[in-house]
């Protein structure tokens, strides 16, 4: 799971990482976000999130995508492979008795293309340090649009599909957890986990410094939404951040 369910994906819109770019660049910054304590929570918490968007030649490092290498890199098409984090959650964030879930490192394969101004992206991340964490596949369509020389707005929609191991890790409840929490045992199957929509607004305050705000919503669906852990199927997120390009 990405931080807070979709926090890292939100930060990807800051740099429009789905679109291939040829010039080397390093962008660093920080964002302050309000997000659910875990996917399905009915309580929110504030988080400080680093913004990283660096590319040197074919090598990249990004908040959303982790680190890796673009095997194919053109103006309209990118094929990449690398490593990314699959974030867990703390024991204090989930219902009592469930316990925390440690972070895992995942192997990521990504593809993006630009058609008529629309950016289409798909990425598959498979846990490698905790293989029981499973596989997550993300798809997203965005449309970056310049309102002026300084202001750009990017609406997008997306969905996540997860295999049975992933669903059971994040939404399942085993016998021990059931006895401790009082929640019914639950073992979800694979399927679409959530759908989301969001809009980001970027303002170039100077040639190198930018401000970004974002609002988004996601809704758990299918077997994920039916988990006894889930207290709120529809969740929201806001973000305000600043970044500097070197």
pLDDT tens sequence for the chain (246 residues): 445 344 444 444 444 433 434 478 899 999 999 999 999 999 999 999 899 999 999 999 998 899 999 999 998 999 999 999 999 999 999 999 999 999 999 999 999 999 999 999 999 999 999 888 999 999 999 999 999 999 999 999 999 999 999 999 999 999 999 999 999 999 999 999 999 999 999 999 999 999 999 999 999 999 999 999 999 999 999 999 999 999
- Residue 236, SS3? strand
- Per-residue tokens: 210: 């930018």
Candidates 139, 108, 110, 229; CA nearest to 180 is 229
Contact 15, 62 (CB under 8 A): yes
CB half-sphere exposure, 223, CA atoms < 13 A: 21
Residues paired with residue 108 on neighbouring β-strands, in sequence order: 82, 125
Cα–Cα distances in angstroms (integers) from residue 158 to residues 113, 144, 149, 197, in the given order: 15, 15, 27, 6
> Tokens 């976000």, residue?
33
**Secondary structure (DSSP) of 3-65:** TTBTHHHHHHHHHTTTS---S-EEEEEEEEEEEESSTT-S-EEEEEEEEEEEEETTEEEETTT
Beta-sheet strands, E only, within 116-190: 118-127, 135-142, 145-146, 151-162
149 burial level (CB within 10 Å; 0-12, 13-18, 19+): exposed
- CA–CA separation, 228 and 177 (whole Å): 11
pLDDT of the residue at 17: 37
- Please report the pLDDT score of residue 20 as a whole number: 39
Integer-rounded Cα Rg, in Å, for the chain is 18
Q: Are 13 and 237 in contact (CB under 8 A)?
A: no
For the full predicted model, state whether its pTM sits above 0.85. Answer: yes
| Count of CA atoms in the C-beta half-sphere (13 A) of 96 | 1
Helix (H, G, I), strand (E, B) or coil at 219: strand
Q: How far apart are CA 129 and CA 189, in angstroms?
A: 22
pLDDT at 131: 81
């Amino acid at each position: 799971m990405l931080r807070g369910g979709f926090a890292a994906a939100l930060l990807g819109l800051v740099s429009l990482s789905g679109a291939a770019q040829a010039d080397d660049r390093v962008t660093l910054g920080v964002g302050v976000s309000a997000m659910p304590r875990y996917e399905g929570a009915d309580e929110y918490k504030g988080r400080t999130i680093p913004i990283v968007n660096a590319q040197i030649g074919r090598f990249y490092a990004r908040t959303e995508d982790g680190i890796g290498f673009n095997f194919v890199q053109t103006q309209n098409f990118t094929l990449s492979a690398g490593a990314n984090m699959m974030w867990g959650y703390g024991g204090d964030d989930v219902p009592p008795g469930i316990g925390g879930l440690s972070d895992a490192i995942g192997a990521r394969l990504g593809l993006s293309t630009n058609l008529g101004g629309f950016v289409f992206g798909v990425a598959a991340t498979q846990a490698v340090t905790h293989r029981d964490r499973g596989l997550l596949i993300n798809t997203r369509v965005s449309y970056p649009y310049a309102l002026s020389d300084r202001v750009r707005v990017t609406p997008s929609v997306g969905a996540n599909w997860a295999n049975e191991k992933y669903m059971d890790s994040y939404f399942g409840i085993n016998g021990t957890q059931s006895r401790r929490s009082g929640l019914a045992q639950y073992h979800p199957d694979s399927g679409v986990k959530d759908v989301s929509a969001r809009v980001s607004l970027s303002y170039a305050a100077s040639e190198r410094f930018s401000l970004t705000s974002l609002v988004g919503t996601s809704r758990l669906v299918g077997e994920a939404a039916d988990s006894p852990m889930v207290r709120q199927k529809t969740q929201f997120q806001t973000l305000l951040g600043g970044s500097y390009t070197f």
